[in-house]
Amino acid sequence: MENGTSTESPIRPAPKLLDQVRDAIRTRHYSIRTEDAYVNWIKRFILFNNKQHPAKLDTTHVAAFLSHLAVEGKVAASTQNQALSALLFLYQKVLEIELPRIGDVVRAKKPQRLPTVLSRSEVRSLLDHCTGTAGLIARLLYGTGLRLMESVRLRIKDVDLARAELTVRDGKGGKDRVTLLPQSLLVAIERQIAERRMLYDADVQSGTADVWLPDALAIKYPNAPKTWGWQYLFVAANLSIDPRSGIRRRHHFNEKLVQREVHRAALAAGIVRPASPHTLRHSFATHLLEAGYDISTVQELLGHADVSTTMIYTHVLNRGGRAVLSPLDG
């Protein structure tokens, strides 16, 4: 202390638990969707245990919470698994506590349901009623087998018109893959790229051409977020604030608009069964198998890690993966 004045810097309070969780998630470059989901589950876990700090709780509390979700909440198996993943992340990565094996959990039952698949005529009618950018994305879903988020996250550099190919980056499981681009969509996609270029040039002039890059690429390549190749193929009409960085930029096309358009088109087409963007992916796989394509080829196009996942479409067909014709029918 000099002249009665302290030279010591003030002690900063320790960050709150949920802030620690967010920091740990962002350090590992998890998506903002995962961040929101994990934080939500951890909040619910704390409230379930009367706001006790998780460090004071153990596996019995975790098991009780998971069982509560299954019995009282009647959640799906995938939802219960997501809650478990969030709590394991909390204890292992944030609190650095290794939990013993979690036993005596009432597991949510995983229903054995077959995917909804539309006939070719139903798909044709549905797509005929789809309009605008959402309609083009819907055609892309059926024509390529992409997942909805894979389609709206496509970048300009991932579209190869000359080879009629799309490269899916960081798909489910963090894997890249190449899939086909339908010949019938080449003109529409080329037009979309041209319109996108005009919007990009306008954003460059206004200084808002910056785009979000995965992981730490924006740090490694500081100029890349403003380049043409990294721009989203399908984008939102308006600029928005990035919730993490606070940067005002143009986000990708809102996937909810595609969901609404497919639902509206299905009603307009008179389709009774529930139809969603993922129904178009199911239909893509089933119709390829009906056409006699090998199941391993379909597996690769869909990006399935295990062929057993793709095999579910053979149950929809009610015949083998190679669409084998019965000798009696022959």
Same domain, 307 and 263: yes
Q: For the chain, give the percent of residues with pLDDT over 70.
A: 88
Same domain, 135 and 62: no
Identify whether 278 is a catalytic site residue: yes
Where is pLDDT greater, at 58 or 322? 58
Query: Phi and psi dihedrals of 231, rounded to 5?
Result: -70, 150
Asked whether residue 34 is domain-assigned, the answer is yes
Same domain, 129 and 57: no
Q: Tell whether the model's pLDDT for residue 103 goes beyond 80.
A: no
**pLDDT of 322:** 47
C-alpha 327: how far from chain center = 43
Asked whether residue 176 is domain-assigned, the answer is yes
pTM, entire model = 0.77
Same domain, 79 and 228: no
Q: Tell whether the model's pLDDT for residue 184 goes beyond 60.
A: yes
Identify whether 196 is a catalytic site residue: no
Identify whether 281 is a catalytic site residue: yes
Asked whether residue 105 is domain-assigned, the answer is no
Same domain, 21 and 148: no
CATH of the domain at 270: 1.10.443.10
Domain residues for the domain of 190 are 120-316
Per-residue pLDDT tens over the stretch 8-44: 555 556 679 999 999 999 888 788 889 999 999 999 9
Per-residue pLDDT tens over the stretch 315-330: 766 554 444 555 665 5
Asked whether residue 109 is domain-assigned, the answer is no
Indicate which residue of 61, 169, 172, 264 is catalytic. 172
**pLDDT of 109:** 75
Number of residues assigned to the chain = 330
At residue 5 the predicted structure's pLDDT band, cuts being 50, 70 and 90, is low
Where is pLDDT greater, at 122 or 104? 122
Same domain, 70 and 161: no
Indicate which residue of 226, 264, 278, 319 is catalytic. 278
Given 94, 110, 140, which residue is the final one in a domain?
94
Same domain, 174 and 259: yes
**pLDDT of 244:** 79
Identify whether 313 is a catalytic site residue: yes
Instruction: Give which of 154, 140, 174, 126 is closest to 253, Cα–Cα.
Output: 154
Instruction: Return the structure tokens found at 282.
Output: 């199911």
Asked whether residue 114 is domain-assigned, the answer is no
Same domain, 86 and 162: no
The domain tally of the chain equals 2
Q: Tell whether the model's pLDDT for residue 189 goes beyond 90.
A: yes
Identify whether 172 is a catalytic site residue: yes
At residue 1 the predicted structure's pLDDT band, cuts being 50, 70 and 90, is very low
Cβ atoms of 248 and 239 closer than 8 Å: yes
Indicate which residue of 139, 147, 249, 250 is catalytic. 147
Q: Give the Cα separation of 12 and 273 in Å (integer).
A: 58
